[in-house]
Structures are given as structure tokens and as C-alpha cells.
Chains A and B, each alone.
Chain A
Amino acid sequence: MKIRRMGIVAIALASTGALMLSGCAGGAESSAEGTIITTNGTEPQMSLIPTNTTEVGGGKIITSIFAGLVSYSASGEIQDEVAKSIESDDATNWTVTLNDDWTFTNDEPVTAQSFVDAWNYGALFDNAQGSSYFFDNIVGFSDVQNSKDDPSGAVGEDGAPLQVGDPLTDGMSGLKVVDDTTFTVELAGTEADWPLRLGYSAYSPLPSVAFEDMEAFGQNPIGNGPYMLASADAWQHDVQIDLVTNPNYAGVRTPKNDGLTIVFFASFDAGYAAVQGGDLDVLDQIPESALASYESDFPETFVNEPAAVFQAFNMPYYLEHWSGEEGKLRRAALSMAIDRAEITDVVFQGTRTPATDFTSPVIAGYSDSLKGSEVLEYNPEEAVAKWAEADAISPYTGTFDIAYNADGPHQVWVDAVVNSVKNTLGIDAVGKPYPTFAAAIDDRDTQALTGGTRAGWQADYPSLYNFLAPLYQTGAGSNYEGYSSAEFDGLLTEGAAASSVEDATAKYVEAQEVLLQDLPTIPLWYQNTSGVWSDTVSNVEFGWDSVPLYHEITKN
């Protein structure tokens, strides 16, 4: 080998030099013009199709670029957007009348057809839309979930459906277009607070161009919301999405700024540093590491108030010691062994509010004085007594654990909770981490847990029902730990069938009092909306769903 003896360091430096030059070429930075607000977000998990967006990252973009029949005010009340009225005499057959002055940003008018087509698209099983279950209370839903080849919708041994091929029908029979500004909806049962759902992003309308190529549409969606994509390539994947105001927007959320740039952050820590360093305007969640310091870092510009996020842990009914009378005693003992006030105070620095029910303080109908809610208060003596009572039925041995997914921010509070249990009850208690959410949910799904599991619920729409039915109804989709109570199910059905919202709420309150006795889940606290912003912006207000009302923000 005859290589010229060039200094080795020189080779290394020369090669990096070449890379540096090529690196600089692509480094032009787009600076925000006018009054563009920058805020944090995460890369949407799916392309931006309203009925396929089920997580927060995509959700806040969908809500900004689409307007449904109604939207939510800061306090979670519905306010009309495209809808002129949503009426029903029997809480089953609904007539929706639209305003006629709405258009999509491609100038196509927003009509009754735009809604019916979008909803049918979302419900049709072979479109594989993640939010399809939002339409499951509309008549004809099962027809679009089953296929021609196997109308029974049979399910194989592994739980996967056997069906293949086209669905039975293309649309739900309960949806009927009357004219351009009117359509009717027939529900499978009565539901007095059905309009409350309609502010959720899955109920957005779609322009006809979307159905030509939904995948392409999802990369560059055309909506009717307060904002629209700044350009065809406004969505820079994993980096940010640039939104500008929509001149055609005719609703109540008219932006007071010129646009919104949502920068995607992999961690809230990075986002927090960015706000501190003046590289970001608004951050809608405070990282664990800054909980103790955010009030002094941002003395005038922070928010910390309860939100519609309920956090708890569940004890599975299939485990020994945790069902029947013994289970009831142990659940109550566990609940009273946890010093929620201290944990929310020390671990979360007051950014959580101890739970007094199973819903959230921002939901209409919330009560902090349910019958039996004293079981949610720290009471070590009573806890020890109840635990001993349970031990008299069958003595408890072994280690108590609470499972959590380590890819979420749960370790610290789980450790604090198990320590509280350990100190009060004198049993061995540990946190049990799972590497991924997939691994954790799998063990819940297959009922393979060895102890408790963390559980949380963020409301899709501000209603008590949304906090109760999916989680505790017998056989419900998210009732993994196998709770079943005829009394609770009955009250829930009565509530749903009630003809007025007040009557419904009364039933849901009763249903919660059943839960307080059974404790299928041990309520812990409500996650607060906690965010900070820099002094370059004003009028930062957060909605009931913990997302800032972007359209209200102004730049100083």
C-alpha cells in the first residue's frame, strides 16, 4: 500500500470541512413575519384527516383548520359555528340546520352533504378511521362496520374479525340530507346531550375534493376553520406546521393574530428551554423538571387550573384478593392510604388537583361532595383497619405493584403512590415499569397484570357520560380490568335516555356514587392545565381541553 503520508488529523478535518460546507447550504432559517404565534406541539401520528386523528398532537391542528357544527368556549360550553340550530323533540331524531355563508378555503360551500359524507367516511370500516366509534350511536352504524361477505361481523378466536371485502352499505341510514343547509340524524337511542359531542374534531365537514385522494388530502388538508395551511408544504414533518388565518372563516373564533406556527417538540423540557430563551411564544404543558420553578421563571405569564384529565389507577377484578367483599375492603383501604394532597403538592407542585369524583371539575355536573367521597381522603387509621378486615377474610402476601408505561411521565408519581401505600399499610409496594405503552396495554388487554395499573382519561368532549361509559360499563371498550355492576349500568342507561340534560346529570351523579362504593378505579387527581408563555404575547387563555385558545392570542 503506497499511500501518501498525509497527517491523519488533516484527513479528518478535511472530511468534516466538506460536510460543514454542504451543511451550511441548506441552513436558511424562516423567520416569523407579522404577528405569527409560535407554540409547541407534536408531530401528528396520522395524516390530518379529522376522523383519523385521535391524539392531542394532530387534534390541535385539526381543531384550528376545521370548524364543525359547534365549537367549545373556554369553559366547555358549545357555541354555534356552521350550525344555525341543532334541534330535537325526542332526543333521538335530530334536525341540523346550517348557516349558508360558510366555504372551505378552496371556495367550495360547506353544505349538509359535506358533513354527511365526512361522517359516513369516518364510520366506514374499510376506511380504517381511528375515530369511527364516535358515530356508533347513529342508526345504521353496524351496517358500515360489517362486510357483504360476512354480514354477521363474526370475530375469530384471536379477536380479529373474519370479514373481508366491501361493507354492506356505503352510508349510515340514520343520516339524511334534506337540502343544502339541512340534514337529519337518527340516533339508535335517546341522548339528550348529543349536541355536546359535536365540537369534537371527528365531526368536522370535508370538502368533496378530499374523497378523491384522502391520503394526499391528509398531507395538505383544506378546511373551513379559523386557520389554514400557509402553503402546500406548510407541514414540515417532525419539524413544524405553519398556519395562517383563513379569510373565508365565518365563525366565532376569528383570530386576533396573523397565524400560528406549531413547532414539534420531542420533550416538554426542550420546549420549556425554548420559551425561556425566547425561541417559542407559548408552551401548553410544563415539564416535570420545571414544576418547582415555573412560577419564579414566569412570574406573570403562567396558567395552572384544573382540566378535563382524570388520573387514577385500577385494580383488576381477575386478581386474587381484589374482588368480592375482600376486594371492596382492600380498594377502600388503598384509596384511604394515599395522601393525595401531599403528592399533588410535592411531586406535582400543585399542578394536579386531588380527585373528589370520577370526572373533572371543568365538566358541567361535576360535584365535590358526592355521597361516599370521603373514601378519597387520606385516612391512615381507617385504611389500616379496612386492610386488616380484609386480611381476616384472606391474608394478603407478596408485593403490591402498580404497572405503568415508562415512555410516559409516570415513574415519579407511581413511586410516590406506592411509597404512600407502603408507609400506611406496611406492605411491600413497588412501581412496575413497562418499556412501551404497547406492552402495557397488551397486558391489560389480555388480563395478564400482576397488580394495579395506572389509568387516565382525557375527555373528548365535555360531558360526564364520556368519563363514565367507556371506562366502567360492563364490556365497554376501555373497561380492561373487568368491572361489572348492574346497578351502575342501569343508572348510566337511564341517564343517557333522560330527556333533559339536568335529569341525565342526576343519574350520572348517582352512578358515580355506586363507583365510590365499588372503586373499580382508585381516583387520584385531575391534571391541571399548566402552561407558560413569553412576554412577547398577551391574552393567552386555555380551553377546557388544556389547549390554548390560539385565536385569542395577540403579539405585543
Chain B
Amino acid sequence: MLWYTGKRLLQMIPVFFGATFLIYFMVFSLPGDPIAALYGERPPSPAVIAQIRAEYNLDQPFIVQYLLYIGNFFQGDLGTTYSGRSVSDVMASAFPITARLAMLALAFEAFFGILVGLIAGLRKGKLFDASALVVSLLLISVPTFVIGFVLQFVFGVQLGWARTTVSGAAPLDELILPALVLASVSFAYIVRLTRASVSDNLNADFVRTATAKGLSRPRVVTVHVLRNSLVPVITFLGVDIGSLMVGAIVTEGIFNINGVGGTVFKAIRLGEGPTVVSFIAVMVVIFVLANLLVDLLYAALDPRIRYAK
């Protein structure tokens, strides 16, 4: 167990280098000159542009830029944005907010998704199942910007129950509405996943055995059916952490949240290599840890799953 965990943590090293290299290369390959674009349609003299390019090592070949970045990275210097702010400062302000938002969204989608999926799976073909299907379809085909706009308008503008936009400190209560919006599409996935697994497992031998043993229905459902249905759901949640954190661009935009998604998106548009790569480096660590946690949870959910050595 410990050995397995240690091995997985060691695997983070190649993933870190692979991901940072790939992403640095992609930012490097973005079309256009990021420095010239900073000044709109009225560029300063070539001398000034060259001076700034040199400041950010943009006059170096790609591999030198990357190695300089990695070298500084291990000395704790993540570089600076084109506005002269240190990237670690930017990260320190964006990550806590995004972590709160993503965890809240994850909690919402896990709780409501599993609950609705479970009931729909148990009552397959009944009214509840059909309603759940309609709601899922709605969430899949109505884009996030619409859901966000409607919730913001109803609860923020008309009812005044929530702030329309999130304040700088982004306290948890202000994040409830954005988290619901962010969780909406994943909620649809989880409902469908849970429903499918539950309805499969209802027919499984061990459930029949358990029922035959005289266990009460609620007990069979929660302990046997649900527990065995959770493996794909947990996997999905583990993978989803990433999209909830980096992919929250639209939701962050609607509610004016200063989070990771918007920051990375802006940095990509500006071609700010160090910012994009530093953020994603942290995300890679989060991915690997989340996936490790999921793998360990497999073993908790299904004791037949063992990790060798």
C-alpha cells in the first residue's frame, strides 16, 4: 500500500516534466508576437520591443527558454507576468478561490448527482427516471452561459438573495450560485453514470444473495448496490477536478471570479509562458494526487481490487 503510493508519487516527476515541456512548447508556438500585441495597433519603437523581449527571455530559442524557466522554478522563482507581477503572487490569489469553488461544485455534483442517479436507477422507467432524463438533457444541451445568466438574473438581480458578482475575497456563501452553475454539466454525467451502474448492480448476484439473506431493502441498496456502483462515479469525479478548476472560464466570467480558469485563459491569450506553465504544473500535481486518491478509494469500495507489490 505504502509502496504503491510512493511509486505513484514518484511517477509525478516524469509527468511534471512531460506536461511542462509540452505546454511551454505550445505557448511558444502560439501565433503572433505577444509583446507586440501588448501595445495594440500602436507599437512602440523596435528598440523598446527588443528590450522587453530580452527581459522575458523571448529572444532565446525555445529550449533555452524552457530550461531557464525550469532552472528558476527549482529556485522558487516562477517568473513574472507581462505586467511585472510575480507568477507566485498570481497563483496565491487565484488558487484558494478556485479550490473553494471547485470543491463546492464537486460536493454539489457528487451529492445531488449520486442521489438523483440512485433513485432513477432504482425506479428505472418510472416518472422520476424520466424526469431525471429530461433534466440531464436540458443541462447537456443548454450552454453554461445561459444557466449562469438565468441563475444570476433570478437570484442576484430579481430576488436579491445573492450578490450578482463575487467580491474579491470570494467567501463561500457567495460561491454557492457559481458552484451550482459550474456543477451543472457534470451533474448530468453523474446522474447517468450512477443510474446505469445502479440498474446494472440491482441484477447482480451479490445483491440477490444479500436480498436472499433477508437484509432490508434500504440496507441492500445503500451498502450493496450503491457501494458497488460508485467505482465509475468516483473515477469521473477524480477526472472532473481538473475541468472544474481550469475549465471554469465561463462561470468565472459570469460571476467575475478571479480564479484559475480565467487567469490561465488570459495568460494563454497574452502568450505568457511562465504563467500558463506554472499554473498547469500545480494542476498536474493535483491531477496525479486526485487520481491516486481515486485508485486508493477503489480498494476501499471493492476489496477485490488489490494493488500489487
Contact = CB atoms under 8 A, between A and B. Distances in A.
Interface of A: 1, 3, 5-6, 8-9, 11-13, 15-16, 19-20, 23-24, 26-29, 43-47, 54-55, 125-126, 128-133, 145-147, 153, 155, 159-161, 163, 215, 218, 236-240, 263-267, 269-271, 273-274, 276-280, 289, 407, 434-442, 445, 455-457, 470, 477-478, 480
B256 A270 contact: yes
Contact of B160 (A146, A240, A277, A456): A277
A122 B76 CA distance: 32
Contacts of A159: 46
Nearest to A167: B47
Contact of B172 (A23, A265, A278): A23
Contact of A132 (B45, B157, B296, B307): B45
Interface in B88-111: 89-90, 93-94, 96, 99-100, 103-104, 106-107, 110-111
B289 interface: no
Nearest to B35: A438
Given A12-B107, A19-B99, A125-B51, A238 B263 contact: yes
Interface residues of B, number: 85
Interface stretch (B16-24, B36-44, B129-137, B202-210): B36-44
B62 interface: no
Contacts of B114: 9
B172 A27 contact: yes
A24 B171 contact: yes
10 contacts: A8-B297, A8-B301, A16-B104, A44-B83, A128-B44, A128-B48, A218-B84, A270-B165, A276-B156, A277-B156
Interface stretch (B26-34, B67-75, B213-221): B26-34
The residue in B32, B104, B107, B173 that gathers the most chain A C-beta atoms within 10 A of its C-beta is B32
A280 B256 CA distance: 12
Interface in B161-206: 163-165, 167-173, 175
B52 to A, nearest CB: 5
Contacts of B41: 441, 455-457, 478, 480
Given A9-B111, A16-B103, A277-B163, A266 B256 contact: yes
Given A160-B46, A277-B156, A277-B160, A239 B168 contact: yes
A1 B39 CA distance: 59
A437 B40 CA distance: 8
A354 B72 CA distance: 53
Interface stretch (B120-128, B247-255, B278-286): B247-255
A129 B163 contact: no
Interface string B251-275: 0111110100011001001110000
Nearest to A444: B41
B1 interface: yes
Nearest to A275: B164
A152 to B, nearest CB: 12
B307 to A, nearest CB: 7
Given A238-B90, A273-B165, A437-B32, 16 more contacts: A12-B106, A26-B171, A130-B39, A130-B44, A147-B47, A236-B168, A237-B93, A238-B94, A239-B168, A239-B258, A240-B168, A263-B256, A269-B254, A278-B160, A442-B33, A442-B36
B309 interface: no
A517 B115 CA distance: 70
A237 B171 contact: no
Contacts of B99: 19
A529 B131 CA distance: 47
B33 A438 contact: yes
Contacts of A133: 42, 44-45
A197 to B, nearest CB: 14
A407 B156 CA distance: 27
B105 to A, nearest CB: 10
Contact of B171 (A27, A276, A440, A480): A27
B9 interface: no
A128 B35 CA distance: 11
Most chain B CB within a 10 A radius of its CB, from A3, A273, A279, A470: A273
A439 B31 contact: yes
Q: Is the interface of B mostly helix, strand, loop or mixed?
A: helix
Those 5 A-B pairs whose CB atoms lie nearest each other, nearest first: A27-B171, A438-B32, A277-B164, A239-B168, A438-B37
Nearest to B168: A239
B237 to A, nearest CB: 8
Contacts of A27: 169-173
A289 B1 CA distance: 55
Given A45-B82, A128-B51, A477 B172 contact: no
Nearest to B171: A27
Contacts of B15: none
Given A266-B256, A441-B41, A145 B299 contact: no
A479 B113 CA distance: 56
B153 A442 contact: no
Contacts of A132: 44-45, 48
Contacts of A153: 47
Nearest to A28: B169
B40 A436 contact: no
Given A273-B156, A276-B164, A436-B31, A43 B45 contact: no
Contact of B256 (A16, A215, A265, A442): A265
B299 A43 contact: no
B31 A438 contact: yes
The residue in A159, A436, A470 that gathers the most chain B C-beta atoms within 10 A of its C-beta is A436
Contacts of A407: 269
